[in-house]
Amino acid sequence: MSSHDRPNRLSPAMEEQLGGASYQGLATFAQLPLLTDPAELDDPRPDIAIVGAPWDDSTTFRPGARFGPRALRALAYGPGTFHLDLGFEIFEEMDVVDFGDAICYHGMAERSFDSIRRRVYEVARRGIIPIVLGGDHSITFPSASAVAEARGWGKLGVVHFDAHADTAPEIDGNLASHGSPMRRLIESGAVLGLNFVQVGLRGYWPPAEIFAWMHEQGMRWHLMHEVWERGIMAVIDDAVAEASEGCDAIYLSVDIDVLDPGFAPGTGTPEPGGMTPADLLRTVRRLAQEVNLVGMDVVEVSPPYDTSELTINNAHRVILEAISGLGAKRRLSAQ
């Protein structure tokens, strides 16, 4: 899509507010047009809609991820929009809007999760790709469930980057913990265990009995030690094949703590020994190019613990790389 073909959503005054440096004007993701009403998604229909999910009442250690969506909009350095590796303007290839936040209510997990599910569903049911800004990782349960509802219950594969498996039956009696959303997805039937693939797990949790449950469900995982031994691209070859087995749509979930905390200190449960940004960014781009990506989230960005916006900028670029990969895929299919 060239610049003159891109839908004109902005008045001159709004263009001025969104067209300057990233530290001024309105705070939308990558200074994209802001839509608030679901009906605004219909004409013209964008390719991708950004949705905020500012919920962190399910965290177990350091809170603060509720501030992630706003920080990703307001504090990320605006790097420009021409992708050097791919050779195109990102937002000329893909029409992307900011669809605001799912309103969350402190201490009310069920009500907040329903708000997230409904807002993401409004995007996904139109065939638009939702990219959700967390929030702690519990938001993946309502977000991916909404995409599964729109795209086919039990027909959605998941590729999940994380230091932790997030498959606990509960934590401290909390079924909605950020340590249990992947278990909820599988138990609900939204995603089959066979189509659930995890990359980057490391450290000292979960215990053996949780891994036994994961094995029973047919889940596959690639520990960070395997990534270190084989290299990320060899691991992703396997992850793509595994997640796509028996399904034709993929949801991508990126917990920013998959990165080594030296690169992402602003997160709730940092675990040393993780991925580098160079590997994660290129991996996300490749996935967007190679699979049928129908939804995505980036979670656990906790600005109060960040240093010089390192975590915010890395998470911001993860999203830009996903959008860029989708643009590259479109370009290739048009040839």
Residue where the block lists tokens 């490749």: 286
Which domains, and CATH codes, for the chain? 12-334 (3.40.800.10)
Which residue, among 156, 126, 128, has the nearest Cα to 141 in the 3D structure?
156
Which residue, among 178, 196, 152, has the nearest Cα to 267 in the 3D structure?
178
- Which residues are paired to 157 by β-bridges? 250
pLDDT digits (tens, 9 = 90+) for 193-233: 999 999 999 999 999 999 999 999 999 999 999 999 999 99
Task: State whether residue 270 is helix, strand or coil.
Answer: coil
- CA dist 58 and 272 (Å) reads 22
**pTM for the predicted model, two decimal places:** 0.96
What are the residues whose beta carbons fall under 8 Å from the beta carbon of 310, sequence distance 6 or more? 263, 264, 265, 266
Q: What is the mean pLDDT of each run of 10 residues along the chain (335 residues)?
A: 53 87 91 95 96 97 97 95 97 96 96 98 98 98 98 96 98 96 98 96 97 97 98 95 89 98 98 98 97 98 97 98 98 89
List Cα–Cα distances, 238 to 18, 213, 220, in angstroms: 41, 21, 10
Which residue, among 158, 112, 156, 114, has the nearest Cα to 135 in the 3D structure?
112
pLDDT digits (tens, 9 = 90+) for 47-99: 999 999 999 999 999 999 999 999 999 999 998 999 999 999 999 999 999 99
Task: State whether residue 31 is helix, strand or coil.
Answer: helix
- CA angle at residue 238 from 248 to 325, to 5 degrees? 60
Question: What single letter denotes the amino acid at residue 217?
Answer: Q
